[in-house]
Copies of this chain bind each other. A is one copy, B any other.
Amino acid sequence: MKSIPMIRDFIVKNKLVLIYGIAMAALIFLLKWLELRFIIINHSFEVYIGLIALLFTALGIWLAIKLTKPKVRTVIIEKPVYISPSETFELNEQLIRKLNLSNRELEVLNLMANGLSNQEIAAQLYLSLNTVKTHSSNLFEKMEVKSRTQAIEKARRLSIIA
């Protein structure tokens, strides 16, 4: 019969829940007992409710903390990945065409990816700051991103830039 091992397995897996359930039952019966014992506590009803609330809040906190998985120390694993120096990188022309990025927008994108600010890009391309902003705004809209860092990340992911 498999039922015995299954039951044991169930018990092991749900040990905490079972323990808690039993504790719950005990607590509830204790409360019932208290209630019966001090049946004349009409005046301290609010105190009673408050105690219940406090108790069960603590119980919830305890439960959550108890069942939250143990803390794990942060470990830095340095994992060297050797890659070939041969430039297998190809600009994804098709993708660029699909995104419908203009030349200027691509230039701006590349300079962005090199860490240049809008002001520096403007100087590099002999444009005004406002023009760079316009290009970058249009770029973000076409790429469906909301910031230069997202644009850089997506462009790299799509192999639009090196």
Contacts and interface: CB of A to CB of B under 8 A. Distances in A.
A137 to B, nearest CB: 16
Interface in A39-84: 48-49, 52-65, 67-84
The secondary-structure label for the interface of chain A is helix
Contacts of A114: 153
A91 interface: no
Complex copy number for this chain: 2
Contacts of A24: 23-24, 27
Interface of A: 9, 12-14, 16-17, 19-21, 23-25, 27-28, 31-32, 48-49, 52-65, 67-85, 89, 103, 106, 112-117, 145, 147-154
8 contacts: A16-B17, A20-B63, A28-B28, A58-B60, A61-B63, A61-B64, A114-B153, A115-B151
